[in-house]
Structure 1
Amino acid sequence: MNNQNLQQKFELYVINLDRSLERWQRIKPHLENMDLAPVRISAVDAVNSSADVLSAHYSLAVNQQTFFMPLKPAEIGCFLSHRKALETFLTASDKPYAIILEDDVEFVHNISQYIQQWEDALAGDTPVMLKLFKRRPISGVCVTKNERTQLIKPKLVPLGTQSQVVNRSAAKALLVAFSQFGMPVDVAYQHFWQHGVDVLIAVPNQVNEISQIVGGTNIGGSKGLSFSYKAKREIKRSWFRLKLKLKSGYHFAKTKPTAQK
């Protein structure tokens, strides 16, 4: 499948803040140089959004039940931006698949090298998400491979939402599962036993993260927080991650696929 045929089956969305248009101006020609037609999703900006907008799907009650600390406004905005991309895909397109990118990535190779494998993995009615980037090595089962790439079903879905490809069933499932959310979007995606989407990871990475080149992350850090607060938060974070790893391993074992030889 060439890149022009890809446009008949795949929508390509880039999530970008209105106050960071220079990032859009960088990624847009990168994609257009591969004969792609990216659609810009105006990200939900926590800085310029009202409390009503930020609380439209973020639930403090769900947060207290499912996560170890309240979300930062930027984390809420990030989740809402990914919801917006999924909603746009389902309401404004009739194509079967969507590529959803944040604005701080670039493809390692021409996308034409990947798309047949993507379509093979996403075809059918089963909800599937294919993540194209991970920061650390993962363990799991290889479900399919070609001469360039393995697709791994991981024991623990890696963090990050820099780049993923979904089918329509996955987009619908994610919107339903997280109509109310209380954790960051990448943590929510780790809970595959709750949202019901089959999450696969491309190995090696098919995109590079270039956030440091384009100015760093738009999600605030720990500046201004007391040492005691940060220490307590890290203890809670470590405990949360341990429980999540154990839960994920349990559910992975229940649904472990057959490895491809």
Structure 2
Amino acid sequence: MADWPVYVINMEANQTRLARVAEELGRAGVAWERLPAVNGRALSAEETARVYDAKANARRARHDLVAPEIGCYLSHVRAAEWLRDGGAEAAVILEDDMRVTGDLAGVIAGLQADLAARPGEWDLVKLFSFKPVALSGVRQVGPGVSVGRPDRVPSTTLGYVLTRAGAEKILACVPPIFRPVDEDHKHFWEFGLKVAMIDPQPIAIGEQETPEGTVGESRRRMGKRDGALRRVWRTIRYQANYRLRLALSRGR
């Protein structure tokens, strides 16, 4: 069984994160390669307009995307393209602010065996969630490691496994983009994705510092420019639509 590539998404300017994640993965015994992140702040207005659907965002998203969110999404698109074009059956995609907290190498090996035994059972496996996630259809994929279907897909792209079939499904739909990449993962039915979750989680969030600031900081600055009523209305509309569509997807 061929090893899966492990892509670490990293901005050229953030060598501190790169050094830290190299140390983390080295201790974990996981070979990896750097995937150059897309700098959303460096995109011209014309480049942004080609990949970002502002009208769809206004209708269907909870907030306007800030430049770092656009760059983040395009970085994950690049990872899917690398996987599609590289010939591997799947890849592990990590962001550079992760830290290893469990047997990451063992989890990867277990998921490799699971995919070989059950081709097409899943397209994407989340390796981390900020909040507890209830799983159904749980099965063991390694010593003390299980995989199952999450009740809700976690709002994070810190780390996940993506199959080549899953990459092709994503790339058939984007770009253009109009939501953050983690929220699009939550809307898995729009892509035809089968999403699973690992338990226990082998990674966690690490240090967040970055020379150019974080997505959260950029979003807070934008939030101050938006009216409070507009923010509340978009959030209520988004959450109601998401819950309805999620319920409908489960009934299929």
Query: Shorter-chain-normalised TM-score: which range?
Result: 0.7 to 0.9
**Are 1:131 and 2:129 matched, yes or no?**
no
Pairing 1:24-43 to 2, within 5 Å after superposition: 24-43=18-37
In the other structure, the counterpart of 2:235 is 237
Instruction: Out of 95-104 and 171-180, give the one that drifted further.
Output: 171-180
Question: Is residue 127–residue 197 contact of structure 2 (8 Å, CA) maintained in 1?
Answer: yes
Identical-pair percentage: 24
Q: 1:190 to 1:217 in 2, by over 3 A?
A: farther
In the other structure, the counterpart of 2:191 is 195
> In the TM superposition, what is the alpha-carbon distance from 1:216 to its structure 2 partner?
10
In the other structure, the counterpart of 1:253 is 251
In the other structure, the counterpart of 1:186 is 182
In the other structure, the counterpart of 2:15 is 21
Question: What SS does structure 2 have at the residue aligned with 1:9?
Answer: coil
Q: Structure 1 unaligned runs (5+)?
A: 255-261
In the other structure, the counterpart of 1:221 is 219
In the other structure, the counterpart of 2:72 is 78
> In the TM superposition, what is the alpha-carbon distance from 1:33 to its structure 2 partner?
3.0
Q: 1:120 to 1:242 in 2, by over 3 A?
A: farther
TM-score scaled by length of structure 2:
0.87
Deviations 1:231-260 (A, max 9, x none): 531342133123202311221232xxxxxx
Question: Is residue 9–residue 96 contact of structure 1 (8 Å, CA) maintained in 2?
Answer: no
In the other structure, the counterpart of 2:205 is 209
Pairing 1:95-134 to 2, within 5 Å after superposition: 95-123=88-116, 124-125=119-120, 128-134=123-129
- The amino acid across from 2:104 in the alignment is I
> In the TM superposition, what is the alpha-carbon distance from 1:163 to its structure 2 partner?
0.3
- The amino acid across from 1:12 in the alignment is V
**Are 1:52 and 2:46 matched, yes or no?**
yes
Write the distance in 2 (CA, Å) between the matches of 1:177 and 1:75.
18
Q: 1:177 to 1:228 in 2, by over 3 A?
A: closer
Instruction: Out of 107-116 and 78-87, give the one that drifted further.
Output: 107-116
The alignment's C-alpha RMSD in Å is 2.5
- The amino acid across from 1:180 in the alignment is P
Write the distance in 2 (CA, Å) between the matches of 1:235 and 1:211.
33
Q: Structure 2 unaligned runs (5+)?
A: none
Deviations 1:143-193 (A, max 9, x none): 313552332212321111000001110111111122322111111111121
> In the TM superposition, what is the alpha-carbon distance from 1:46 to its structure 2 partner?
1.7
Question: Is residue 104–residue 210 contact of structure 1 (8 Å, CA) maintained in 2?
Answer: yes
**Are 1:89 and 2:87 matched, yes or no?**
no
Write the distance in 2 (CA, Å) between the matches of 1:229 and 1:72.
16
- The amino acid across from 2:184 in the alignment is A
**Are 1:148 and 2:141 matched, yes or no?**
no
Question: Is residue 39–residue 68 contact of structure 2 (8 Å, CA) maintained in 1?
Answer: yes
Q: 1:252 to 1:233 in 2, by over 3 A?
A: same
Instruction: Out of 207-216 and 23-32, give the one that drifted further.
Output: 207-216
- The amino acid across from 2:25 in the alignment is L
**Are 1:61 and 2:55 matched, yes or no?**
yes
Write the distance in 1 (CA, Å) between the matches of 2:69 and 2:109.
33
